[in-house]
Amino acid sequence: MDTSPNRPYYRFFLSLTLILLLILLIRIGFVIHSQSPQTKTYTDPLVSKEVVRGTLYDRNGKILAIQTPYWGVYFHLTMIDDLPLVSEVVAPFVGMSPLQIEHQAGNYTTYAQIKKKIDPTQVPLLLAELKRTSLTKQVSVVKSMGRDYPASFHASQTIGFTNIDNEGSEGVELKEEAFLNPYPAIGTAESTYGQDITLTLDMDIQYILDVQLQNIADEHNPDYAVAIVLDAQNGDILGMSSYPWYDPNALSKSTDLQKRNHVANYLYEPGSVFKVFSLAAVMEANQADLDEPFLCDGSYTFSMGKNANATIVCTSPHGLVDPNTMIAKSCNGAISHWAMQTDPALFYATLNRFGFNVSYDIGLPSKTRSFIADPSSWSGRSEATIAFGQELSTTALHLAVAATAFTNGGELLQPHLILKRSDANDNTVLYRRERTVIDRTISAEVADAILLAMEDATKSGGTAISVAVEGVRVGAKTGTSQIMNPETNSYEDGTVLASTLAIVPLDKPRYIIYVAAGNPKGDTQWGSNIAAPAIGKIIESLVSQGKVVSNRSDKR
């Protein structure tokens, strides 16, 4: 028998340990039970029932893109015993023959899309007929939300389009996707509305551009044609057109070429239109002898160093040429001569300040950068050839934007395509574009001198006389440039860009207009015969709309 004096203590500690262990087990069981799924209540958050995509407007409130319902017809093939019979019932309401419907259904195994969109007026009639023929389980008429583009092909490359899920795929629709199509709101069952976006476009001006590009296409059959109108005082893009175009309401019929925004994204050598910027750079550097007229005998030969010469050719002899005559007659020799008298670094720096080495974020998905190589990589003739628009790459957008320096006393403006974003519920303006000066490019005196030289080009004997409109002071510069083949890195006969840049009215510049046609066919390829007359018609239409005042009108 254990007679140890410590035995009572062992029993005490053992009992205490068991009691503590029991308390711990009870506590663990309570915690587990309190967190059991059977006793815990979960509450699913409220989520907005639908997202309504924001509406796109032009600056005058015209609808450019709006969310709209559409109805599609679908067959549940596993539930259809007599496909020809069902096809006959459905055919009158979907604009298809029974055989066409059977052929379409044959592309599927279980669930067949017969027609994505049907005429909405036919929906109640079709539903009634399906009910009458007891085919409501075999045929579904499904409502979806899509996008309608009331302007059709007008500004289509700018506006863009949405995909089958109503998400932006191109143009403003894609770039502004986050604002137009937000995530569903949490905490409410009400619809979530995307922001409404107003573009800087004026569709009255857009229609004018499209009419003239269609006329160019009909008469000269170019590979493509572009036109842009910029507000000369704030950089707003008022019209932007690329031919050939497409209808976003009939997207399946479009091609990649039609979807391309040539104005903003297509790079090319601008040709003689560029002379206005080259002359401004020469004047700003103030190193060339512009007081001594250049004698143009039809060509200009200069030394490139290392016992090598280069010759620049004009279309014809121009005689004695001063800066204004150079613009009016488009003399290659004169501008090349003055450029060669100018320090390359200064010449390049000014062209840079015109924006010919940047990309612009205007509200489109892609940003294309204009390009002029650094003088360190120039050849002995580069400065001369750059002066009349070769050995550089730019876009129609860059050329129009660069001209804002002439209309704003030498200050270059930021271009804008998005005018404002607004709350769709109460029209509160959430963003509004502001006039933005990018840089001082040239002096006000040089800017004024370029405008006067451009005006001379629209007078008798000037290459841009077709731009002239009675009663309106207009300045312009034409261009006809060879297009380089990127595969052969050489110019080919018959491949040209016919273009013209214009500013109107000169006494108080309001519009910058640029038109160009790539590879026109027919009896003329000159910018003075293709783009210049188109701009003259555009200005006449602006006068008719009251956007430009003509002194001729005042005399009536």
498-508 tens-digit pLDDT: 999 999 999 99
pLDDT of residue 445: 98
Exposed, middle or buried, 494 (CB in 10 Å: 0-12/13-18/19+)?
A: exposed
Convert the pLDDT of each residue in 71-88 to its tens digit. Answer: 999 999 999 999 999 999
Exposed, middle or buried, 293 (CB in 10 Å: 0-12/13-18/19+)?
A: middle
- What is the rounded average pLDDT of the residues 289-302? 93
Residues facing residue 220 across a β-bridge: none
- What is the rounded average pLDDT of the residues 38-58? 70
Which residues, 6 or more positions from 33, have their beta carbon under 8 angstroms from its beta carbon?
Answer: 39
Given a contact cutoff of 8 angstroms between Cβ atoms, the answer to whether 273 and 500 are in contact is yes
Antiparallel, parallel or unpaired: β 168-170 and 161-162 = antiparallel
- Could you give phi then psi for residue 209, rounded to 5 degrees? -60, -45
Buried b or exposed e, range 86-105, using 16+ CB within 10 angstroms: bbebbbebbebebeebbebb
Q: Which residue has the tokens 């489109």?
A: 364
Convert the pLDDT of each residue in 318-357 to its tens digit. Answer: 999 999 999 999 999 999 999 999 999 999 999 999 999 9
3-state secondary structure (DSSP) of residue 72: strand
Given a contact cutoff of 8 angstroms between Cβ atoms, the answer to whether 479 and 467 are in contact is no
Output 184 or 432, whichever has higher pLDDT: 432
Convert the pLDDT of each residue in 405-426 to its tens digit. Answer: 999 999 999 999 999 999 998 8
User: What's the mean pLDDT when you consider all of the chain?
Assistant: 91
Convert the pLDDT of each residue in 438-447 to its tens digit. Answer: 999 999 999 9
pLDDT of residue 528: 96
- pLDDT above 70 as % of the chain: 92
